[in-house]
């Protein structure tokens, strides 16, 4: 399983990029709104840092024609922009059009397996099931990942599953075990993945022993 970062914050993206594990970036309108900057300017900044990996940028239009127009403008910003399209009938039409023009797509707001299957059949590059938001309403987000992975495998669909709406490290481990190709993680969760108290204690002990021996 690969790692994307789920943020529109350029400093977070720069730090994550230096770790050597970053395979892409996902943004959404809420994340961009939090930044208080122009969407296009921010996408230019992000794609100048993450040059050769997918950067998802979401369309706001709700009709296929509007999505296609908006998506083409976003795709013109950089060759590694992936157009994020909501899982609707209009969204599926737009995915089909993008896919026939070689523009990569990420179908977002996926909450059941049929939505994922439809998106894959329309030609989506990625589908994003939202784990955390399903868990929030008492549904099993992780089971959805497993079901989609099994369906894609059985029917030889090469659409990649992005485990999205990740809330904590256990989501990441479980997404990897249940067949997600990618987890898109918020910056705080990325930091949590690195940390273990025994690692910190171990470093302190090694340093203390080294100092004692060299006094
Ligand atoms: C994915 O692409 C979305 O941007 C994201 O994971 C949504 O997560 P949230 O439920 O924390 O808003």
142-170: pLDDT as tens digits: 999 999 999 999 999 999 999 999 999 99
Say if ligand 1 is within 6 A of residue 82 CB: no
Instruction: Tell which one of 6, 34, 175 to mutate to probe ligand 1, the residue whose CB is within 8 A of the most ligand atoms.
Output: 6
pTM for the structure as a whole? 0.96
Output the CA 172–ligand 1 centroid distance in Å: 14
Q: How many domains does the structure of the chain reveal?
A: 1
Say if ligand 1 is within 6 A of residue 146 CB: no
Residue closest by Cα to atom 9 of ligand 1: 165
163-215 pLDDT per residue, tens: 999 999 999 999 999 999 999 999 999 999 999 999 999 999 999 999 999 98
- CATH (domain of 207): 3.20.20.70
Say what the pLDDT of residue 196 is: 96
To the nearest whole percent, how much of the chain has pLDDT over 90?
Answer: 100
88-100 pLDDT per residue, tens: 999 999 999 999 9
Residue closest by Cα to atom 7 of ligand 1: 165
Quote the CA–CA distance of 144 and 18 in Å, as a whole number.
Answer: 32
Range of the domain at 24: 2-213
Output the CA 139–ligand 1 centroid distance in Å: 16
| Helix (H) or strand (E) run with residue 171 in it | helix 169-177
With 0-12 / 13-18 / 19 or more C-beta atoms within 10 angstroms meaning exposed / middle / buried, residue 159 is buried
The one catalytic residue in 44, 69, 84, 212 is 84
Reply yes or no on whether 84 is catalytic. Answer: yes
Say what the pLDDT of residue 215 is: 86
User: Six-digit token pair at 67?
Assistant: 């999505």
Say what the pLDDT of residue 160 is: 98
Q: What is the ipTM of this complex?
A: 0.97
Quote the CA–CA distance of 80 and 69 in Å, as a whole number.
Answer: 18
């Amino acid at each position: 399983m690969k790692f994307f970062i789920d943020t529109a914050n350029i400093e977070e993206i720069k730090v994550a990029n230096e770790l050597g594990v970053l395979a892409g970036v996902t943004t959404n309108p809420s994340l961009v709104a939090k930044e208080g900057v122009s969407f296009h300017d921010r996408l230019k900044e992000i794609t100048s840092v993450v040059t050769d990996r997918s950067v998802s940028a979401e369309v706001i239009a709700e009709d296929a024609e509007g999505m296609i127009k908006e998506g083409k403008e976003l795709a013109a910003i950089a060759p590694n922009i992936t157009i994020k399209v909501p899982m609707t009938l209009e969204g599926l039409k737009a995915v089909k059009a993008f896919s026939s023009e070689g523009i990569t797509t990420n179908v977002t707001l996926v909450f059941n397996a049929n939505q994922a299957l439809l998106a894959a059949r329309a030609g989506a590059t990625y589908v994003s099931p939202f784990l955390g938001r399903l868990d929030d309403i008492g549904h099993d987000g992780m089971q959805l990942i497993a079901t989609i992975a099994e369906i894609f495998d059985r029917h030889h669909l090469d659409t990649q599953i992005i485990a999205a709406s990740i809330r904590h490290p256990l989501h990441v481990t479980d997404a990897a075990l249940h067949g997600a190709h990618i987890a898109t993680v918020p910056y705080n969760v990325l930091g949590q993945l690195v940390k273990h108290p025994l690692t910190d204690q171990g470093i302190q002990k090694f340093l203390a022993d080294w100092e004692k021996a060299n006094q």
